[in-house]
């Protein structure tokens, strides 16, 4: 559905398709009662869950394991004033099953900075929202001249 402000709401499937093509996103969590945002690489699982790989001793793991977080990824083209943004909100948890951990070492996301002991964190997709800015041809709902 197009809105008069130049944005189009993406449905869940469209949002997940956009995420599947992205390689970097941002995990949004709380640190010392304040919002914190960290860029991370990730893998989108078939279920729509976001999978991260990081150091087992990282502050991030301690902050998000067992907590509801948001994960956001986007793509923007400044030249055409177009792009999209998708947010996945859900419970984050460390993968603790040894067999699944071993499988994810082979198939999961790769760390850009390898750590001696790594863990996988899964964000379950309770809420998936997205929107797309289409063509930058509008300003405040008015069509711009060519």
Q: Which phi and psi angles does 19 have, rounded to 5°?
A: -60, -35
- The answer to whether residues 51 and 23 touch, using CB atoms and an 8 Å cutoff, is no
| Per-residue model confidence (pLDDT) at position 4 | 53
In a domain, 142, yes or no: no
Q: What angle do CA 52, 53, 56 make, to 5 degrees?
A: 125
| Per-residue model confidence (pLDDT) at position 89 | 98
DSSP state of 113: S
In a domain, 86, yes or no: yes
**Residue 45 in tokens:** 């699982």
In a domain, 140, yes or no: no
In a domain, 82, yes or no: yes
- The answer to whether residues 96 and 27 touch, using CB atoms and an 8 Å cutoff, is no
**Could you read off the pLDDT of 64-106 as tens digits, one per residue?**
999 999 999 999 988 888 899 999 999 999 999 999 999 999 9
Please state the domain count of the chain: 1
Domain residues for the domain of 122 are 7-133
**Could you read off the pLDDT of 6-34 as tens digits, one per residue?**
789 999 999 999 999 998 999 999 999 99
| Per-residue model confidence (pLDDT) at position 111 | 84
**Could you read off the pLDDT of 102-133 as tens digits, one per residue?**
999 999 898 888 788 999 999 999 999 999 98
In a domain, 145, yes or no: no
Domain CATH number, residue 105: 2.30.110.10
In a domain, 139, yes or no: no
Give one word for 142, left, alpha or beta, with left for phi > 0 and alpha for psi -120 to 50. beta
């Amino acid at each position: 559905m197009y809105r008069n402000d130049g944005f189009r709401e993406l449905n869940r499937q469209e949002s997940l398709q956009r995420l599947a093509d992205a390689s970097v996103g941002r995990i949004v969590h709380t640190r010392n009662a304040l919002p914190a945002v960290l860029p991370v690489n990730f893998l989108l699982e078939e279920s729509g869950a976001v999978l991260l790989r990081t150091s087992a001793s990282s502050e991030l793991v301690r902050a998000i394991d067992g907590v509801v977080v948001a994960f956001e990824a986007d793509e923007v083209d400044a030249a055409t004033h177009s792009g999209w943004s998708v947010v996945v909100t859900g419970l984050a948890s460390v993968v603790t099953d040894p067999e699944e951990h071993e499988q994810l070492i082979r198939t999961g996301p790769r760390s850009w900075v390898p750590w001696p002991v790594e863990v996988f964190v899964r964000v379950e997709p309770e809420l998936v929202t997205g929107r797309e800015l289409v063509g930058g041809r509008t300003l405040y709902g008015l069509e711009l001249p060519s």
